[in-house]
């Protein structure tokens, strides 16, 4: 989503790094580049104006001007202020004591609210909790069907409201809380009515739900692809019913990113999660500092490590490290790593967490085809145990047989073997061996 903005800001950072000193003239030029980059990314004008003023004030301070690396100091200021715009520090989801914690999700129709209910339920279930999903829409009884289907696919409980219950909403909502409490289901995640536009009827219904349930979290779900429309809608929901936090969906899209950079400043509410794909596991905790680093092309290695840890088995990781130390890494091990990498999401998404400057710049900006992972795994799967253990036995006739067995051309078999050899050479490097030695 932030590719265009990142590209613009990277030019500004390159300009600052190339300046031996920072004068008012060079700072004015850098701030002009910054302002245009943010406005083109559809960031709220007032947010851009305040952001620019804070950066200028701090960048013209004595500490920066007398620094040996003033350009780097200004870059740090930009990063810190960008982090502040995004919310400063990560805000955890609130839970009630005593349970059940009630999460009420609100937003316009089409924002991904119902899908997000399922993603959030899956996330809290990963914490060892037992969520209960419910859909409460007085006008569209069929709205329950989608959430019921999502709950079923996740193996999570769903509370179905009957037409009779919907006709007496106050009593129905009280029964819902008792049901969750008696069965030790916590949190209770409530999907609410959505409309194409905000209207008085919708707000009255949402206020009724909020007044009775008294949720610990009232979460606005906004479609980041709609830009400033999402920000204006969030502001209206905040003013009319009150919010505690925000979840931004579709941050894997190609919109300009202005909503993510404006919504915290405009609403005063933190973004706690972001949706980065359609699958149930594509909900990420939002870290303002990490997102600021990614926007500025500095990468987000911490999130990448966390993704890897979620999908990896500790014993397997230790065994892999041992094999690399002993230089016993085989094609079978390579296949396992390809499968593991696929679980982490799209390859371009994984590489997008790498810094766009320095030695990893080429990788971070590489255009990759996710199908290669599947193809390479199929090629290795068509090999015999001996061939996976010792690729040196792979003669031309063997490679032709493997190509036919995997349904891939011979040149892809050769490409895989070449990449595997490159990986083996890299694993022999002293720096990597030294790092792995510390893992014993």
The residues, ordered by sequence, that sit 6+ positions from 386 with a Cβ below 8 Å of its Cβ are 393
Say what the alpha-carbon torsion angle 43, 45, 49, 54 is, to the nearest 10 degrees: -30
Cα radius of gyration rounded to whole Å, the chain: 26
Asked whether the predicted pLDDT for residue 49 surpasses 80, the reply is: yes
Question: 148-200, pLDDT tens digit by residue?
Answer: 999 999 999 999 988 888 888 899 999 999 999 999 999 999 999 887 778 88
- pLDDT-derived band at 346 (thresholds 50, 70, 90) equals low
What is the C-alpha to C-alpha distance for residues 100 and 78, in angstroms, rounded to an integer?
A: 41
60-86 mean pLDDT: 74
Task: Give the pLDDT band (50/70/90) at residue 370.
Answer: low
Angle 419-423-427 (CA atoms, 0-180°, nearest 5)? 170
Residues 362 and 123: their CA atoms lie apart, in Å, by 33
What is the overall mean pLDDT for the chain?
80
H or E stretch at 284: strand 283-285
In the chain, the percentage of residues whose pLDDT exceeds 90 is 29
CA dihedral 301, 303, 306, 310 (to 10 degrees): -130
Convert the pLDDT of each residue in 293-332 to its tens digit. 777 765 544 554 455 555 555 566 566 666 666 667 788 8
Please give the domain boundaries of the chain with CATH numbers for all domains.
3-85 (1.20.120.140), 102-296 (3.40.50.300), 303-437 (1.10.260.30)
CA pair distance 77, 54, nearest whole angstrom: 9
Alpha-carbon distances of 230 from 237, 239, 250, rounded to whole Å: 11, 14, 12
pLDDT on residue 257: 65
Structure tokens at 123: 């996330």
Which residue has 């104006």 as its token pair?
A: 49
CB 117 within 8 A of CB 134: no
The angle, 0 to 180 degrees and rounded to 10, between the axes of the packed helices 24-40 and 70-85 is 30
- The whole model's pTM is what? 0.68
Between 20 and 130, the higher pLDDT residue: 130
How much is the pLDDT for 60?
76
Element (H or E) spanning 158, and its range?
strand 158-159
**128 half-sphere exposure, CB direction, 13 A CA radius:** 0
């Amino acid at each position: 989503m932030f590719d265009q903005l990142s590209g613009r800001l990277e030019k500004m950072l390159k300009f600052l790094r190339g300046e031996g000193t920072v004068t008012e003239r060079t700072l004015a030029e850098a701030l002009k580049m910054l302002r245009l980059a943010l406005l083109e990314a559809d960031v709220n004008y007032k947010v851009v104006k305040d952001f620019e003023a804070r950066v200028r004030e701090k960048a013209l301070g004595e500490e920066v001007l007398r620094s040996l690396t003033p350009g780097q100091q200004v870059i740090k200021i930009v990063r810190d202020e960008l982090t502040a715009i995004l919310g400063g520090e990560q805000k955890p989801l609130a839970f009630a004591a005593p349970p059940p914690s009630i999460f009420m999700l609100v937003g316009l129709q089409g924002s991904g609210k119902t899908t997000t209910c399922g993603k959030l339920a899956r996330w809290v279930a990963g914490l060892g909790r037992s969520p209960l999903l419910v859909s409460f829409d007085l006008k569209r009884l069929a709205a329950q069907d989608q959430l019921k289907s999502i709950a079923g696919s996740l193996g999570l409980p769903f509370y179905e409201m009957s037409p009779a219950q919907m006709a007496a909403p106050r009593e129905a909502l009280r029964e819902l809380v008792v049901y969750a409490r008696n069965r030790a289901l916590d949190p209770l995640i409530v999907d609410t009515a959505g409309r194409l536009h905000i209207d008085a009827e919708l707000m009255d219904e949402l206020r009724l739900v909020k007044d009775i349930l008294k949720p610990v979290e009232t979460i606005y779900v906004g479609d980041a692809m709609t830009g400033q429309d999402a920000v204006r809608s969030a502001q209206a929901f905040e003013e009319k019913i009150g919010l505690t936090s925000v979840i931004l969906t579709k941050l894997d899209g190609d919109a300009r990113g202005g909503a993510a950079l404006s919504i915290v400043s405009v609403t005063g509410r933190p973004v706690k999660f972001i949706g980065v794909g359609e699958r149930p596991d594509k909900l990420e905790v939002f870290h303002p500092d990490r997102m600021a680093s990614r926007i500025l092309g500095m990468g987000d290695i911490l999130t990448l490590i966390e993704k890897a840890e979620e999908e990896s088995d500790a014993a397997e990781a230790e065994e892999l490290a041992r094999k690399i130390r002993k230089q016993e890494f085989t094609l079978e091990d390579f296949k396992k790593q390809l499968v593991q990498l696929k679980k982490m999401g799209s390859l371009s998404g994984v590489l997008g967490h790498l810094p766009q400057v320095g030695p990893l710049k080429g990788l971070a900006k590489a255009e990759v085809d996710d199908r290669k992972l599947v193809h390479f795994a199929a090629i290795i799967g068509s090999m015999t145990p001996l061939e996976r253990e010792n690729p040196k036995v792979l003669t031309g006739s063997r490679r032709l047989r493997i190509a036919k067995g995997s349904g891939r051309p011979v040149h892809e078999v050769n490409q895989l073997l070449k990449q595997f050899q490159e990986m083996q050479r890299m694993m022999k490097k002293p720096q990597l061996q030294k790092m792995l030695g510390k893992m014993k």
